[in-house]
C-alpha cells in the first residue's frame, strides 16, 4: 500500500508519498510564511488561493522520486481541523485525483497526523504512550492506547502555546512567525532575568493568556522607565528567554504529571512548537528518566504531509478507505 498524502489545513501546501512499510519516499512542503508575514498572521482567503495555485506542482514534485502516479495505491488527505477554504482545496484535489485514477481515498485528522509523526522518528513506535501536542492552535495532552483509541487528558483553556509565542513576539517587535523568532532571540538572553508565572491547572489543563498578559505588563513597566527599551537587544533577548522558560516549564510540569498519572513508558512531543530547541532539551532532560522520549525532526513537527501519510496508513488498516465523499471539519477535535 503506497499512499500519496496531501496536507492543506493552514498555510503549508504539502504532499508526501509513504510506502507500505511506513517508509517515507518523498516529502515536499511549500511554505506560505513569507506571504503572510506582511499581515502579521495567516490570512485565510490568501492561504486558500495559494493552495490552489501550488497544489498540483507540489503533488507532482512529491510523486517524481516515488515513481509517479502509477505507484500510488491510495490517497490520504487532511479533512480537519483547519481553515475551511484550505481544507476544501486539499480534499477536493484528492477526491478528484482519486476518481480520475480509480484509486481510493481516506480522510485523516490533522491532529492524529501530528501524533503519529512520531513514527517518522521511531518507525517501531507502538502504544501506549502520552503525546504532548503543541502548535499554534492546540496544546493537548493525549493518552494514546492504540490506533483509533486515545483519551484527551487535558487541553488549553484559552491561548494555545504557539499562539502565545506569536503574540509575545509581536509585543517584542519580532517577526512572524513568532515561535522561531523567540527561539532565536532567547539564545542571547537570560531565562532567569524575569520571573514569570507558571500556570499549572487541575485536570492537566493549560492556560497561557495570563503568561502573555504578564509579559505585556512587564514590558509596560520597562518601557515606562526606558521608552527606547525595545531597541536594546538585551531587553528583547531577556524577555524572550524568560517567557520561553516559563512556557516550557509549564508544559513540562503537566507532561510529568500525565506520565505519572498514566504510568506510560513512552512520551512523544509533536506539533510546530515541538521544534523549539528549549522545549526539546527540557523534555529530554526532565522526562528521559521517566519514559522513552520521542520527538520528530523539526521538519516533521511543523505541518507536513508525511505525518498524514503515516496516520492514513493506520486509518486504512483500522477501518479501510472512505466510501462516502469526504466532509471537511474545521473544528475536528477527536484523536480517535
Distances (CA, A) of 336 to 29, 48, 82, 101, 333: 26, 27, 17, 29, 9
The residue ranges of the chain whose pLDDT is under 50 are none
Asked if omega into 43 is within 30° of 0 (cis), the reply is no
E strand segments, the chain: 3-7, 12-18, 24-31, 74-80, 105-109, 129-134, 139-146, 149-155, 266-270, 292-294
The CATH homologous superfamily of the domain defined by 3-117+302-319: ATPase, nucleotide binding domain (3.30.420.40)
Q: What is the pTM of this model?
A: 0.94
Rounded to whole angstroms, the Cα distance separating 201 from 223 reads 31
Are 3-117+302-319 and 127-295 the same fold in CATH?
A: yes
Q: Check: CATH 3.30.420.40 for 127-295?
A: yes
Give residues with Cβ within 8 angstroms of 56, minimum separation 6. 93
Largest CA distance in the chain: 68
Give the CA dihedral 34, 37, 41, 47, nearest 10 degrees. -30
| Collapsed DSSP state (helix, strand, coil) of residue 52 | helix
Q: Rounded to the nearest 5 degrees, what angle is found at the Cα of 125, between the Cα atoms of 5 and 30?
A: 30
pLDDT, one tens digit per residue, over 263-289 is 999 999 999 999 999 999 999 999 999
pLDDT, one tens digit per residue, over 56-72 is 999 999 999 999 999 99
Residue 266: CB atoms within 10 A of its CB come to 19
Nearest one of 80, 21, 28 to 299, comparing CA atoms? 28
Nearest one of 60, 65, 72, 55 to 9, comparing CA atoms? 55
Distances (CA, A) of 115 to 57, 135, 207, 238: 27, 12, 21, 32
The domain locations on the chain are: 3-117+302-319, 127-295
Query: In the prediction, which pLDDT does 333 show?
Result: 85
Amino acid at each position: 500500500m503506497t499512499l500519496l498524502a496531501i496536507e492543506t489545513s493552514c498555510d503549508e501546501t504539502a504532499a508526501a508519498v509513504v510506502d507500505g512499510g511506513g517508509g517515507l519516499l518523498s516529502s515536499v512542503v511549500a511554505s506560505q510564511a513569507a506571504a503572510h508575514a506582511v499581515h502579521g498572521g495567516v490570512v485565510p482567503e490568501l492561504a486558500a488561493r495559494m493552495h490552489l495555485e501550488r497544489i498540483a506542482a507540489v503533488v507532482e514534485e512529491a510523486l517524481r522520486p516515488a515513481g509517479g502516479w502509477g505507484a500510488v495505491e491510495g490517497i490520504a488527505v487532511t479533512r480537519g481541523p483547519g481553515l475551511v477554504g484550505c481544507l476544501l482545496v486539499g480534499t477536493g484535489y484528492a477526491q478528484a485525483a482519486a476518481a480520475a485514477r480509480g484509486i481510493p481515498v481516506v480522510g485523516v485528522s490533522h491532529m492524529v497526523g501530528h501524533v503519529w509523526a512520531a513514527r517518522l522518528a521511531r518507525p517501531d513506535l507502538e502504544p501506549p504512550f502520552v503525546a504532548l501536542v503543541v502548535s499554534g492552535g492546540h496544546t493537548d495532552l493525549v493518552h494514546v492506547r492504540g490506533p483509533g483509541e486515545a483519551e484527551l487528558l487535558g487541553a488549553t483553556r484559552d491561548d494555545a502555546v504557539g499562539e502565545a509565542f506569536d503574540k509575545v513576539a509581536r509585543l517584542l517587535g519580532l517577526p512572524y512567525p513568532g515561535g522561531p523568532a523567540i527561539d532565536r532571540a532567547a539564545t542571547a538572553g537570560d531565562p532567569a532575568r524575569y520571573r514569570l508565572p507558571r500556570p499549572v491547572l487541575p485536570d492537566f489543563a493549560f492556560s497561557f493568556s495570563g503568561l502573555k498578559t504578564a509579559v505585556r505588563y512587564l514590558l509596560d513597566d520597562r518601557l515606562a522607565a526606558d521608552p527606547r527599551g525595545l531597541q536594546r537587544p538585551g531587553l528583547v533577548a531577556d524577555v524572550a528567554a524568560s517567557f520561553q522558560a516559563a512556557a516550557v516549564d509549564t508544559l513540562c510540569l503537566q507532561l510529568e504529571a500525565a506520565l505519572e498519572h498514566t504510568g506510560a513508558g513512552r512520551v512523544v512531543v509533536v506539533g510546530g512548537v515541538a521544534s523549539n530547541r528549549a522545549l526539546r532539551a527540557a523534555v529530554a532532560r526532565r522526562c528521559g528518566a521517566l519514559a522513552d522520549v520521542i520527538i520528530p525532526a523539526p521538519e516533521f513537527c511543523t505541518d507536513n504531509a508525511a505525518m498524514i501519510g503515516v496516520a492514513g496508513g493506520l486509518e486504512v488498516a483500522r477501518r479501510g478507505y472512505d466510501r462516502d465523499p469526504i466532509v471537511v471539519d474545521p473544528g475536528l477535535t477527536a484523536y480517535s
